[in-house]
Structure 1
């Protein structure tokens, strides 16, 4: 049992930390407050090859292991969680195409997606269907060599940059509903495919979250992911394991950043003639935060290691995502309390961490849903503890 990173993984982490320290931390507060898109940061991520994390080397990607994958999201989220989101949806979509795409689809999209010349996201959520994906109403009707796609999607990350955008839709009305669901790859600029307003958000800034309107969008039949109808739900659910690992790692990054800020402030801030870290009330919070961060880290990297071992990780990813996200919220609040009034100021990082953390409990399946997945896996004997 080895809880240490390999030499290669440590080197990769060092490169990531240098990138975050040089290009993200110095601008995060100002750009996040102004709503400025991080174009220059995206360009460096392209040069580092990070858009190819989940793309096999044969298509120009990194084909990285899942521990290194988690490292990317942890380290970038420590600097600015919203920037990590740009990679998150892209990486999930690339994983779906690499895992389930036809040879023609892989050859068409993956080389450009690996370099960042193309970017992508994934369109699942609708105004009346979030957690309940079987409740979507977006439809695709076959018309000769095309599908005619109609519907509305919301909370779509990377919507303005996605080319293609995988869209979950119903291609038949079979019951149960998941049997009639498919994924279509919609190219940017296709008539009828409109990216509407950017949704206003409490946090998670730096990347756009948009409403997408699909009105009689004609999508070639060759863009049906995998080439067979009715497999969309299974394809998406398989990819969400990867998605939950990236959210868990982002939450870990937020928790670590909150702890780092609180520890530094407890050492430097003085009250009543001594550092506030000398007071037991502050010490208790610091100890609790450190324990939460380390426990979250072990869960995240355990789930990643299990995935690298070829295992299904529904339960493991669910545990990591639920625990790490709640640790992030707890650590952000404790960091704010340790900072006192300054923690409420936009001039300090903890204010942003406090706004970013709650999304980690909601995104990629709420934590209540994660607990249902965990319990069902245990009750069905698909996983064991101990």
Structure 2
């Protein structure tokens, strides 16, 4: 993990990001939802701001922020339609970080600058019917054929698949054995023969973000497409990228929760019932207090966990703690926001109704809440068992 961007430069990046989101994106949230697409001019502006590569190292054309800086940006991204973040999220996160952390110099040179500029949209193709939060159940296969690899399998819920230029594909090359899990990761251009992208999924929320099924049928790629040139890099790459991504998603959840709180405060301060301002009712104030406690706790936790990740102190248990707490917290804050708005909060076109639906997904992808509990509890017990055995 690099040192990140100079503090003064990062302050300018953060301020510009916040200003763009508040003045341009938020006023167009309904347009994004109604069209189920992020407008081209917003995509172009985000690319010019460096958002498609903010977490890519500067040597490869990115801004080079570290995770402590990433979470500050992510809290801003979460403040608006999550479709915006989704557009460039995989470039910086779970897909791009596979290349940053595990790619060969040749692979980085071929792809990272184009990913960082937004010329290439990358997509993280891991999830399957039987392999989501736990990649061990992976069924997609990659078989050697001369100097090439041939990939067969079906992936589901793949973010940005309909607009992707590059798929970062996880496939099993052999059954798990003493040498390792037998999971490799390949770089597959979206236009490779045998790649079929299904229709765009219709989802509960996050209108404007694109996910779909992707089928790999006899897709042939050269040996140079094997990330890191290592058949066993896939599992480590997935776990490493997902752990980092969990901290990012936790920060996005905090941003969404802050927006839900702010919308609640605005409504409570301006709406009356029976001639009384809603915010004067003590039970409404109690709900707002619960929202504030959650948001402040989540923000502090995300910053602490990001710092531990950057220092190398904890890159496994703490990310799961942050994702579990912050995404569950955001769901509760959004639910309270709808309650504070009353019937208005149930109406389409009202911000808290969209937030309520959008953030439900945060508890599912990049590892469900239940998987985070297993990682946390199992990790702590393994540590306690080792300590007990050493006495």
Q: 1:343·1:351 contact (CA, 8 Å) conserved in 2?
A: yes
The match for 1:170 among 164, 169, 172 is 172
- State the alpha-carbon separation in 1 of the partners of residues 296 and 56 from structure 2: 30
Match of 1:32 in 2: 33
Offset, 1:117: 0.9
Match of 2:389 in 1: none
What whole-Å deviation, never above 9, does each CA across 1:178-201 have from its counterpart, x for those lacking one? Answer: 621100100121000111111110
Match of 1:252 in 2: 254
Offset, 1:51: 1.3
Asked whether 1:310 is paired with 2:312, we answer: yes
Q: How does 1:26-105 map to 2 (within 5 A)?
A: 26-91=27-92, 92-105=94-107
Q: How does 1:294-305 map to 2 (within 5 A)?
A: 294-305=296-307
Offset, 1:76: 1.7
- State the alpha-carbon separation in 2 of the partners of residues 380 and 304 from structure 1: 23
Q: 1:88·1:243 contact (CA, 8 Å) conserved in 2?
A: no
The match for 2:342 among 340, 343, 352 is 340
Offset, 1:70: 1.2
Offset, 1:162: 2.3
Match of 2:152 in 1: 150
The match for 2:199 among 190, 194, 197 is 197
Offset, 1:317: 1.0
**TM-score normalised by the chain length of structure 2:** 0.93
Q: 1:78·1:257 contact (CA, 8 Å) conserved in 2?
A: yes
- State the alpha-carbon separation in 2 of the partners of residues 223 and 170 from structure 1: 15
- State the alpha-carbon separation in 2 of the partners of residues 6 and 295 from structure 1: 24
Aligned length: 379
Asked whether 1:160 is paired with 2:178, we answer: no
- State the alpha-carbon separation in 1 of the partners of residues 178 and 249 from structure 2: 29
Give the secondary-structure state (helix, strand or coil) at the position aligned to 2:157.
strand
Give the secondary-structure state (helix, strand or coil) at the position aligned to 2:213.
strand
Runs of at least 5 residues in structure 1 that lack an aligned partner in the other structure: none
What whole-Å deviation, never above 9, does each CA across 1:252-304 have from its counterpart, x for those lacking one? Answer: 11111100000111111112222111110100000000000000101111111
- State the alpha-carbon separation in 2 of the partners of residues 180 and 313 from structure 1: 23
Offset, 1:24: 0.9
Offset, 1:9: 4.3
Match of 1:179 in 2: 181
Q: 1:192·1:216 contact (CA, 8 Å) conserved in 2?
A: yes
- State the alpha-carbon separation in 2 of the partners of residues 184 and 380 from structure 1: 32
Offset, 1:207: 1.5
Match of 2:23 in 1: 22
- State the alpha-carbon separation in 1 of the partners of residues 355 and 165 from structure 2: 30
The match for 2:331 among 325, 329, 332 is 329
Offset, 1:37: 3.5
Match of 2:289 in 1: 287
Q: 1:12·1:68 contact (CA, 8 Å) conserved in 2?
A: no
Give the secondary-structure state (helix, strand or coil) at the position aligned to 1:244.
helix
Give the secondary-structure state (helix, strand or coil) at the position aligned to 1:206.
coil
C-alpha change, 1:268 and 1:178, in structure 2 (3 Å) is farther
The match for 2:368 among 356, 366, 372 is 366
C-alpha change, 1:40 and 1:382, in structure 2 (3 Å) is farther
Offset, 1:133: 1.4
